[in-house]
Structure 1
């Protein structure tokens, strides 16, 4: 279950599954997190400076560039991370789409442990400024399970929640 103890964070979780026989394997998880940091600063970390995230969040151990650069669509990066305090896992992802005007980035997993349970796994982040101070960060995970027995990837939503809080804390303290 998601940690809902963040005192200044509003968290809403929306889980949507399609229930037809052909679509039972596909799903989408969404979470919205209210942060204190300005949208532009938070977005910049994810868009152009994500190689700094391992120094900010203890759940992310490394982000290594494999192809391209840190910000161009088509670039490939390998993330090393921890779920639920277990052994480190790796995933190679590519930046599929970037919309700087709407502060939106779409990532697509290419290989790694996550694809042992999911045929496809995409994450989308959108950062929206709030009136006054702060921002709203919306993470969406779109996935297709390899079979019906695989649970929804809630642990990955928890990881994005923790990473978001860690980045926000870092930016607010800076």
Structure 2
């Protein structure tokens, strides 16, 4: 049995908060044009964009190294603006026993927050916490925000 870990981040955004849910749910293949330094591609390998059970193939650059991730969309809640991805093949599950990320949108007063929660299982104490991946996700979120703010 591995060691369960959870990392969370809340990022204040200037763009319309609905943009993030829409992009990650219905248009993930557009993300590489919004933050090309982070994401190089997203392809649909099974299903339909925006539906539970769909499978995505991501290519990304983490700390100067090309990485891949095949993920299934485990859940979508349009009303609460929540989407959950689970990696079933790729660089993360090659080294970790499991990995899941949930994106949800919160509003605190006038502030819109993009919130990410990563849940994963380290195989042993020698496997590092995924702080570098959380930093990557924060940077990607800020790049997507900047892309939409500049466009509008």
Structure label with greater radius of gyration: 1
Contact 1:47–1:105 (8 Å) recurs in 2: yes
Contact 1:38–1:129 (8 Å) recurs in 2: no
In structure 2, the residue matched to 1:143 is: 120
In structure 2, the residue matched to 1:100 is: 78
| Cα drift, residue 130 of structure 1 | 4.3
Q: CA RMSD in A?
A: 1.3
Q: Which has the higher helix share?
A: 2
User: Structure 1, unaligned stretches of length 5 or more?
Assistant: 1-21
| Cα drift, residue 129 of structure 1 | 3.3
Structure with larger RCO (C-alpha < 8 A, sep 6+): 2
User: Structure 2, unaligned stretches of length 5 or more?
Assistant: none
Q: Which has the higher strand share?
A: 2
In structure 1, the residue matched to 2:57 is: 78
Runs of 4+ in 1 over 6 A off after TM superposition: none
State how far apart, in whole Å, the 2-side matches of 1:30 and 1:74 are.
24
| Cα drift, residue 42 of structure 1 | 2.1
State how far apart, in whole Å, the 2-side matches of 1:113 and 1:164 are.
21
How many residues were matched structurally? 150
